[in-house]
Amino acid sequence: MFNNPPTIYSIKAASTEGFSELNAFDVALLKSGVGNTNLVKMSSILPPNCLKVDDINLPPGDLVPVAYAAITSSKKGELISAAVAVAVPKDKTKNGLIMEYEDKNITKEEAESHVIEMAKWGMEYRGYEIEKIESIAASHIVKEHGAAFACVVLWWE
C-alpha cells in the first residue's frame, strides 16, 4: 500500500458535540482536517527525518496514516480528553515516537502531561536522546453526545 515512509507530519486536536457519538467523532475528525479521508490507524513510530508542517492538504477519500487518541461519551456532564505527543530524537537517522492517550474525568492538561511522560519513557527505553517533544490535546464536557480527538497525521511532500 505505502512504498516509502512519510516525510512530513502534522499534529491536530478537536472536540465537539454531535447527533450521536459517531457523529461527534466525525465532526472532530473534520475539525482536525482528516474527516474526508479514510484513516489508517497506525502504531506509534515517526519515520527518521520526518518534518513537522502546520497543515497537510489531504486528498478526499485517500488512505491516510494516522496515530490518534479518540474518546466519545453520551454521559451528560462527563469530561473526556484525548492527547498525542511526538518525541523527536537528536539523532536524525533514528525514528521518533508517537504516543496517544485518552481518558474520562481528566483535564486536557492532565492528558497532555501524561502522554508527554509516555513519550519520554518510550524514548528512554529505546536509548534515544530527545531533541524535542511536541504535544496537543482536546477536552470536552459532554452535553448530549461528545467526542475528543487528537492525532498525528503522516504524509508525503
Task: Read off the CATH number of the domain in which 119 is found.
Answer: 3.50.20.10
* 123-136 mean pLDDT: 98
Q: Does residue 100 carry a catalytic annotation?
A: yes
Whole-prediction pTM: 0.96
Specify the DSSP class assigned to residue 18.
-
In angstroms, the CA 143 to CA 73 distance is 9
Q: Tell me the per-residue pLDDT of 57-116, one tens digit each, with 9 for 90 and over.
A: 999 999 999 999 999 999 999 999 999 999 999 999 999 999 999 999 999 999 999 999
Q: Does residue 124 carry a catalytic annotation?
A: no
Does 1 fall in a domain?
A: no
In angstroms, the CA 34 to CA 19 distance is 19
Q: Tell me the per-residue pLDDT of 13-57, one tens digit each, with 9 for 90 and over.
A: 999 999 999 999 999 999 999 999 999 999 999 999 999 999 999
Candidates 46, 57, 52, 42; CA nearest to 5 is 46
Does 3 fall in a domain?
A: no
Does 2 fall in a domain?
A: no
pLDDT of residue 1: 58
112 DSSP β-pair partners: none
Residue 95 C-alpha cell reads as 525514528
As for how many domains the chain has, the answer is 1
Q: Does residue 38 carry a catalytic annotation?
A: yes
Q: Which of 10, 44, 73, 81 is catalytic?
A: 44
Would you tell me how many other CB atoms lie within 10 Å of the CB of residue 137?
27
Candidates 131, 128, 150; CA nearest to 139 is 150
Residues with Cβ within 8 Å of 134's Cβ and at least 6 positions away in sequence, in order, are 11, 52, 85, 86, 88
Structural domain including 121 reads 8-155
Candidates 152, 95, 85, 91; CA nearest to 120 is 85
Residue 45 C-alpha cell reads as 513510530
Does 86 fall in a domain?
A: yes
Is 2 a residue whose pLDDT tops 90?
Answer: no
Q: Does residue 135 carry a catalytic annotation?
A: no
Q: Which of 3, 4, 43, 57 is catalytic?
A: 43
In angstroms, the CA 76 to CA 19 distance is 14
